[in-house]
């Protein structure tokens, strides 16, 4: 009895620790402590609760004394070491001019057939190409490029383009730590599945499309409406202001149209050689920067393709770091400057909380809660397994932490407990087959990784908001929409129809996959374009403010429902192999409806938190 | 065949995502959209290679 009470109490402590910093009371945070501190405190409370429970149940002293070591054993060193290795090589790249070389290369891309549009697309999606253990590294390296190109720099891109670009870059960089092969969050899930790299493609595909949806949302849904009022980024003394001195008196739609015209004027092919030379002056890098960038790429490709045999990733990264240090004559201090403590402490705090939940029975309580959620019915109608999962995979973005690892480390054991290997966690549900579990893991992890983008408590998105000088949280909804409708369900669909059905491969699966992709594309474009508040009226009024809120709610509810349906199809669409069977005897159409409701609830919670 | 399917999906997804981002950034001419799609395809290829 004491154990049951302790398990419920420890779960409450966990939820309090996670939600506390997000809740605002009277304009102030309910708990003004750093999240990591709070999680460590919560872990200590859980350990004390577990000790108390064991003592009441007649446990002996050695059992009580072993509790802290049981919690400590949950801290997994490999991802921490890989992350530290990634940070060291990032520090070496910054110190040696490697990132400056990267900026030169990107600037030169404008002169290729990619042109300005292709180059901006490349910048928006770049972070996941060479995914680092923390997206902040890529964001910090790329944001200066955008500043230089923007209205306060060489004015190659307009204010609106800059807002769209920084938002897309933020969510892409945030999500990039999911598929990273050098200490990414995905590696924790791949460790559970015992197949390194299994979840990479699915996450990357979801990120690619989710980034585009984020750009679409911020462009059509938000910036036309109130960009002039809520983004205090200067237009700069550019051609933008030519003939538009009465900016404040224009309709926002008209401003967007003029921006479009300017962006077309800014085709690089129309620039003179002198102008291009002036721009090139702002992008300079030493030779050693190019060499260090080459060493990094070689190390990364070698690590991904096992070119160096069975050398651990951390060793490869450290060797690359030392090589760059020698060539660029860097000091230890310069290299260590690349380490970002935040994600490392977040991971350790998350692991500690997970360990404390394991010893206090919190995981069992959470598993039981999820099972209850799946079985709970009113008038014979309930969420079912499909609805519960459609809601659960979006949980990290509903409660966005400054680092997705915090909740991922704490919750992944519960996700795994839904699968077939449930013996290690008594009371776990065992609701899913191994293949279904892989789909859920891909969706859950990419959602977790991306969640640090829209986090209002120090997420990557807040860096972008600072850059364009907008209100805190202004870019959040666009990122949340991209994660909700793009990244999460598409990662699950890609896992189901491309990764897991490789053997045997069937055209049916490929056809289904492309059909479902088309549905998601058409829906997202349609919903953002049609339920667009700026279409209602040209001028901003209090009524329109309400209309914008209503439109946002409708979009998120519908988006969540579509995401939930896609999750249900990915998990429960009957397959000849029988690996994707529906739990119980629920008809498939009911499963789809349950997924839609679960997804819609997730969409509503995303807006509410 | 399965590898081919993955490449096909990524190239298609890359082109569409590039198109959407270019459209979102007000590159609405045929040339701008094409360049965006090309950038998206390049991204998709690099996602698969790395």
Cβ–Cβ contact B27 with A under 8 A:
yes
Put simply, the answer to whether B24 touches A216 (Cβ < 8 Å) is yes
Say if the Cβ atoms of A121 and B36 lie within 8 Å.
Answer: yes
Which residue in chain B is spatially nearest to A204 when comparing CA positions?
B47
- How far B4 CA sits from the closest chain A CA (Å)? 10
Across the interface, whether the CB atoms of A213 and B26 are under 8 A apart is answered no
Contact at CB, B20 and A300, closer than 8 angstroms: no
Which residue of B lies nearest to A119 if distances are taken between CA atoms? B39
User: Looking at this predicted complex, what is its ipTM?
Assistant: 0.97
What is the Cα–Cα distance from A104 to A144, expressed in whole angstroms? 12
Place of tokens 């420890």: A10
Q: Which of A449, A448, A451, A473 is nearest to A462 (CA)?
A: A473
- Three-state secondary-structure class, residue A378: strand
Q: What gap in Å lies between CA A5 and CA A17, rounded to an integer?
A: 18
Q: Where are the beta strands (DSSP E) in A296-430?
A: 377-378, 381-382
pLDDT the model gives residue A257: 38
- Element of type H or E holding A28: strand A28-29
Q: Do the beta carbons of residue A120 and residue A158 sit within 8 Å?
A: no
Which of B37, B39, B42 should one mutate to test binding to chain A, selecting the residue with the greatest count of A CBs within 10 A? B39
List, run by run, the mean pLDDT of 10-residue segments along chain A (609 residues): 85 84 74 81 91 85 83 71 75 85 83 90 90 76 74 80 91 91 82 83 94 91 68 58 37 38 48 70 83 87 74 80 90 78 74 82 81 82 88 89 78 83 58 87 94 80 79 84 94 90 71 90 85 62 69 91 94 77 75 94 89
B42–A contact, CB cutoff 8 A: yes
Task: Please count the residues of chain A.
Answer: 609
Q: Do B21 and A215 touch (CB under 8 A)?
A: yes
pTM attached to this predicted model: 0.81
B11–chain A Cβ distance below 8 A for any pair: no
Longest CA span, chain B: 38
Q: Please report the number of interchain residue pairs, chain A to chain B, with beta-carbon separation below 8 angstroms.
A: 147
Q: What percent of chain A has pLDDT over 70?
A: 82
Interchain CB distance below 8 Å, A115 and B31: yes
- Pick from A502, A384, A405: which is nearest to A136 by CA? A405
> Is B38 an interface residue toward A (CB < 8 Å)?
yes
A-interface mutation test, from B37, B43, B45, most A Cβ less than 10 A away: B43
State the pLDDT at residue A356. Answer: 86
- Chain center to CA of A534: 28
Mean pLDDT of B25-29: 90
Q: Do A212 and B24 touch (CB under 8 A)?
A: yes
> For residue B47, what is the nearest residue in chain A, using CA coordinates?
A129
Q: How many angstroms away from the CA of B8 is the closest CA of chain A?
A: 10
Length of chain B: 50
Please list, in sequence order, all residues whose beta carbon lies within 8 angstroms of the beta carbon of residue A104, skipping any fewer than 6 positions away: A283, A284, A285
CA separation for the pair A464, A158 (Å, rounded): 16
Give the pLDDT of residue A422.
57
C-alpha distances out from residue A20 to A34, A231, A477, A607, A609, Å: 11, 29, 21, 17, 12
CA distance, residue A494 to nearest chain B CA (Å): 9
With an 8 Å Cβ cutoff, are A260 and B28 in contact?
A: yes
Q: Does the distance separating the beta carbons of A122 and B26 come in below 8 Å?
A: no
A235 sits in which H/E element: none
How far is B12 from chain A, CA to nearest CA, in Å?
9
H helix runs in A97-230, sequence order = 98-108, 115-125, 135-149, 159-175, 186-193, 200-216, 224-230
Contacts of A176 in chain B (CB under 8 A): none
Nearest beta carbon to residue A118 from set B13, B36, B47: B36
Number of C-beta neighbours around residue A456 at 10 A: 18
Q: Which of A115, A117, A265 to mutate to test the interface with B (most CBs of B within 10 A)?
A: A117
């Amino acid at each position: 009895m004491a154990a049951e009470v302790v398990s419920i109490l420890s779960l409450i402590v966990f939820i309090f620790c996670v939600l506390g910093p997000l809740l605002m009371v009277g304009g102030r945070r309910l708990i003004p402590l750093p999240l990591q501190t709070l999680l460590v405190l919560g872990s200590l409370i859980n350990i004390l609760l577990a000790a108390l429970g064991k003592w009441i149940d007649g446990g002996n002293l050695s059992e009580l004394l072993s509790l802290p070591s049981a919690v400590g054993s949950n801290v997994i060193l490999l991802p921490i070491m890989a992350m530290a290795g990634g940070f060291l090589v990032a520090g070496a790249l910054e110190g040696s001019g490697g990132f400056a070389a990267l900026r030169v290369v990107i600037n030169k891309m404008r002169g290729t057939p990619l042109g300005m549009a292709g180059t901006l697309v490349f910048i928006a999606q770049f972070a996941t190409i060479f995914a680092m253990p923390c997206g902040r590294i890529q964001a910090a390296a790329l944001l200066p490029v955008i500043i230089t190109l923007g209205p306060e720099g060489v004015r190659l891109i307009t204010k609106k383009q800059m807002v769209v670009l920084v938002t897309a870059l933020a969510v892409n960089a945030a999500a990039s730590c999911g598929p990273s092969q050098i200490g990414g969050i995905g590696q924790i899930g791949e460790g559970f599945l015992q197949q390194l790299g299994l979840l990479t493609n699915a996450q990357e595909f979801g990120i690619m499309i989710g980034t585009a949806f984020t750009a679409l949302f911020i462009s059509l849904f938000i910036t036309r409406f109130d960009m002039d009022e809520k983004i205090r980024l200067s237009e700069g003394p550019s051609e933008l202001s030519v003939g538009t001195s009465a900016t404040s008196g224009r309709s926002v739609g008209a401003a967007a149209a003029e921006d479009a015209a300017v962006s077309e004027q800014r085709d690089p092919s129309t620039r003179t050689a002198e102008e291009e030379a002036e721009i090139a002056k702002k992008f300079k890098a030493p030779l050693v920067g190019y060499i260090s960038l080459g060493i990094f790429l070689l190390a990364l490709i070698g690590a991904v393709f096992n070119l160096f045999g069975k050398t651990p990733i951390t060793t490869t990264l450290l060797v690359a770091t030392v090589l760059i240090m020698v060539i660029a004559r860097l000091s230890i201090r310069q290299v260590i400057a690349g380490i970002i403590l935040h994600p490392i402490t977040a991971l350790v705090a998350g692991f500690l909380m997970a360990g404390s939940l394991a010893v206090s029975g919190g995981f069992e309580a959470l598993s039981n809660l999820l099972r209850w959620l799946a079985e709970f019915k009113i008038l014979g109608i309930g969420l079912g397994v499909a609805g519960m999962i459609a809601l659960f995979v979006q949980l990290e973005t509903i409660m966005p932490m400054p680092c997705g690892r915090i909740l991922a480390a704490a919750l992944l054991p519960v996700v795994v407990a839904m699968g077939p290997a449930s013996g290690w966690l008594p009371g776990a549900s065992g609701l899913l087959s191994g293949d279904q579990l892989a789909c859920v893991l891909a969706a859950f992890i990419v959602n977790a990784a991306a969640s640090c983008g829209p986090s209002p408590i120090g997420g990557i998105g807040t860096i972008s908001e600072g850059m364009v000088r907008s209100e805190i949280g202004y870019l959040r909804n666009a990122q949340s929409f991209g994660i909700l409708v793009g990244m999460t369900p598409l990662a699950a669909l890609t896992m189901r129809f491309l990764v897991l059905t490789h053997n045997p491969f069937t055209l049916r699966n490929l056809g289904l996959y492309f059909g479902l992709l088309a549905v998601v594309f058409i829906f997202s474009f349609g919903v953002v374009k049609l339920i667009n508040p700026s279409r209602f009226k040209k001028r901003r009024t209090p009524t329109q403010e309400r209309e914008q809120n209503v439109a946002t709610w409708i979009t998120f509810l519908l988006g969540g429902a579509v995401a939930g349906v896609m999750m249900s199809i990915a998990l429960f669409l009957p397959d000849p192999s029988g690996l994707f069977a529906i739990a119980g005897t629920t008809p498939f159409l009911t499963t789809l409806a349950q997924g839609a409701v679960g997804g819609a609830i997730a969409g509503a919670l995303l807006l509410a938190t | 065949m399965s590898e081919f399917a993955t490449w096909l999906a990524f190239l298609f997804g890359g082109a569409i995502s590039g198109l959407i981002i270019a459209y979102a950034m007000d590159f609405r001419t045929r040339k701008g959209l094409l360049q965006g799609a090309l950038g998206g395809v390049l991204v998709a290829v690099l996602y698969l290679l790395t």
